Amino acid sequence: MTPPQVLTTVSSFRAALAEAVAAHVRERGAAPAVGLVPTMGALHSGHAALVDAARAASDIVIASIFVNPLQFDDDADYLHYPRTPERDVALLGAHGVDLIFTPDLAQMYPGDSHAPLVRVSAGQLGTRWEGAARPGHFDGVVTVVAKLFNIMSPPAPARLEAWFGAKDAEQVAIITRMTADLNIDVDIRTVPIVRDEHGLALSSRNQRLDETDYSAALAIPAALFALSEDAASERRLGVADQVEELRSAEGVELDYLVVVDPDSLEELQPGDALLDEHGVLRGRALALIAARVGPVRLIDNVILSPGRSQPRE
Ligand code: PAF
């Protein structure tokens, strides 16, 4: 496998991508599909799954590694965020990435790195659920992602697809809406949540759970799967029952468990288009959960569809 090219400046990245697109057109006589995996580094098997999906669907795979200060709640978190650039480049190369963009702060935010004057706002979408728990986080995410799309979009005739993990369901909904509202020409693709054999969604934070925490954390997927079964069986969604169960579960501090419209992220109410007056789901919805277990805050979600249960692994 050819090692990936690592580019640190906007101009060198654009030139390398233009050359890769031109070479593809010359050799294959067809427009390439370019798959982008944006990351903040400290890569793990979840990122590898994203790259593998992009590799399988694209002719040219590109990735970015940039720890974005705008999306951190506080400076200490940003400063202590793990940075493992050599390992990250090796992982991306081993999974077949062609070009890696690793800008520094001055490349990404040429004005003032911590307070760029012009930013993108996630609007009301950025204030719900995780947005309420982390004010400003999604504004920081959409600002950097819009910039990455601008910098990393290939020249015509190539087309861009960007890959994100379904575990960050709110992030995906907000980025999808941002691309529509700002007319950014990119298809957003998601890779399903990867779960362990007991159903817990994989996350680097799981390493900080001891045995007791881990057992307690299993209440999170259990609640989501119970809702998925309610939806699949077309019976009343037992959200209140699950909330009560989680509130009384030892070792779990529930932040929220809600069923929302997957696009607007608004909580469904009986009598809405998606939820009938008996609380039975009538269309596709998203169950979102966040809870603190031991030393970590875990998030998870499941798509709810009438007549269809979601796979647990
Ligand atoms: O999901 C992430 O790792 C980040 O939010 C992203 C999309 C790379 C933007 O910094």
Q: Which atom of ligand 1 is nearest to the CA of 168?
A: 1
Strand, helix or coil for residue 136: coil
Give the residue, out of 108, 119, 144, with the most ligand 1 atoms within 8 A of its beta carbon, to mutate for a pocket test: 144
Q: How many CA atoms lie within 13 A of 10 on its CB side?
A: 12
**Residue corresponding to tokens 């081993």:** 94
47 assigned to active site: yes
Alpha carbon of 245 to ligand 1 centroid (Å):
32
Pocket perturbation via mutation, ligand 1, pick of 36, 37, 39 by most ligand atoms within 8 A of CB? 39
Q: What is the largest CA-CA distance in the chain?
A: 63
For residue 148, which atom of ligand 1 is closest to its CA? 9
**Which residues, judged by CB distance below 6 Å to any ligand atom, belong to the binding site of ligand 1?**
38-40, 68, 71, 141, 144-145, 168, 171
8 A C-beta contact, residue 43 and residue 92: yes
| pLDDT at residue 113 tops 90 | no
> How do residues 11-36 score in pLDDT, each as one tens digit?
999 999 999 999 999 999 999 999 99
pLDDT at 70: 95
Distance between CA atoms of residues 188 and 241, nearest Å: 34
At residue 312, the pLDDT reads: 60
What is this structure's pTM?
Answer: 0.95
- Rounded to an integer, what is the distance from CA 55 to the centroid of its chain? 18
Tell which phi-psi region holds residue 269, choosing left (phi > 0), alpha (psi between -120 and 50) or beta: beta
Q: Which residue has its alpha carbon closest to ligand 1 atom 2?
A: 39
Q: Is the pLDDT of residue 310 over 70?
A: no
Q: Which of 24, 44, 47, 80 is catalytic?
A: 47
Q: What is the mean pLDDT of residues 78-94?
A: 95
CA of 244 to the centre of ligand 1 (A): 33
- Tell me the domains of the chain and their CATH numbers: 5-191 (3.40.50.620), 204-304 (3.30.1300.10)
CB atoms within 10 A of CB 33: 18
> Residue 14 belongs to what H/E stretch?
helix 10-28
pLDDT of residue 308: 74
Q: Which residue has the tokens 């911590």?
A: 114
Residue 271 has a pLDDT of 94
Q: What is the pLDDT of residues 188-198, one digit of tens each?
A: 999 999 999 99
Which residue among 50, 77, 168 has the greatest number of ligand 1 atoms within 8 angstroms of its CB, and so is best to mutate?
A: 168
Question: How many CA atoms does the CB half-sphere of 116 hold within 13 Å?
Answer: 21
User: How far away, in angstroms, is 263 Cα from ligand 1 center?
Assistant: 19
Task: Give the pair of three-digit tokens for residue 264.
Answer: 């607007």
> What percent of the chain clears pLDDT 90, i.e. is strictly above it?
89
Query: Is residue 82 classed as helix, strand or coil in its secondary structure?
Result: coil
What sign results for the dihedral spanned by CA atoms 155, 159, 164, 169? Answer: positive
Q: Which residues contact 210 (CB under 8 A, 6 or more apart)?
A: 294
Residue 208: count other Cβ atoms within 10 Å of its Cβ.
12
Q: Mind listing the pLDDT tens digit for each residue in 236-251?
A: 999 999 999 999 999 9
Whether residue 229 is predicted with pLDDT greater than 70 in this model: the reply is yes
pLDDT per residue as tens digits for the range 161-196: 999 999 999 999 999 999 999 999 999 999 999 999
